Amino acid sequence: MRDPLTALRDALGRDPMSPWRRRLRRLIRPAWLAPFRTTPLSSYWGLDRGTPVDRYYVERFLAENSRDIRGRVVELQDTQYTDRFGAGVERRDVLDINPGNPAATIVADLTAAEGVPANSFDCFVLTQTLQFIYDVRAAVTQVHRMLRPGGVVLATVPSVSRIAPVYGLERDYWRFTPASCRVLFGDVFGGDGVTVRGYGNVRTTTAFLSGLAYEELSRGDLDAEDEYFPLIVAIRAVKH
């Protein structure tokens, strides 16, 4: 499994809307209608209106930790975030369970990746994917095994999200809290090597569920943080 936004773009072969059509979509279904609807303004997390709100926080987290994206870096499905935020990257790898992915340099199931040598990577970029893996502990254990000593995983997971339509109702398993992520990664990496942070607030959480794009929110809306209303949870874990 991989980030559903990337999977959706692959399925469509392009961004679902051109910029002018996104603006038109916002005019036809204005944001003020959201509280009065029983269905979201967008079925694609706001992708057809602009940029999904959760991406603001995913990209902010990666920018804040860009110094870790160095050396040999592995990312799932493609290298979009390694390319955007990496500094001093010596080698880029793509891990994917799908052998048909031409970008994949490593074909493996993240929960059973014993074929990938241990101590291989300096950084593992793992965004918005663990919710589609039932055995999340096995996946985190494999990530730890593949990292070199001193290596870092930068992971993000949803705390609030609609069920991913691209995967249907059968393969979207989990939502996370900062507490569950501290235990999950702490049990594998050791508690002193794990930093967990929630991003978001009640405004951005409800906007994301309603299908608004982050371009429809103010910077004040986006940057306000409320630990009781995280939209995503971000984890930085270091292998001793």
pLDDT at 116 over 60: yes
Give the span between the Cα atoms of 129 and 111, in whole angstroms.
12
What pLDDT does 159 receive?
98
Average pLDDT for 84-88: 96
Model pTM score: 0.91
Residue 124 neighbours by CB under 8 Å, 6+ apart? 73, 74, 75, 143, 146, 147, 151, 152, 153, 154, 155
Token readout for 238 is: 């270091």
User: Which CATH number fits the domain that encloses residue 123?
Assistant: 3.40.50.150
Q: What value does the CA radius of gyration of the chain take, rounded to a whole number of Å?
A: 18
Give the span between the Cα atoms of 194 and 22, in whole angstroms.
39
Alpha helices in the chain, H assignment, sequence order: 4-12, 19-28, 53-64, 80-85, 136-146, 178-189, 202-210, 219-223
Give the span between the Cα atoms of 51 and 212, in whole angstroms.
9
What pLDDT does 12 receive?
47
pLDDT at 235 over 70: yes
Q: How many domains does the chain have?
A: 1
pLDDT digits (tens, 9 = 90+) for 155-196: 999 999 999 988 878 899 999 999 999 999 999 999 899 999
Range of the domain at 81: 4-238
- 201 and 228 in contact (C-beta within 8 Å)? no
Buried b (16+ CB within 10 A) or exposed e, 213-230: bbebbeeeebeeeeeebb
- 77 and 6 in contact (C-beta within 8 Å)? yes
DSSP per-residue letters across 15-80: -SS-HHHHHHHHHHS-GGGGGG-SS-S-SSTTTTTSSBHHHHHHHHHHHHTGGGS-EEEEEES--H
Q: How confident is the model at residue 15 (pLDDT cuts 50, 70, 90)?
A: low
- Mean pLDDT (the chain, rounded): 92
Instruction: Return the sign of the alpha-carbon dihedral for residues 30, 34, 36, 40.
Output: positive
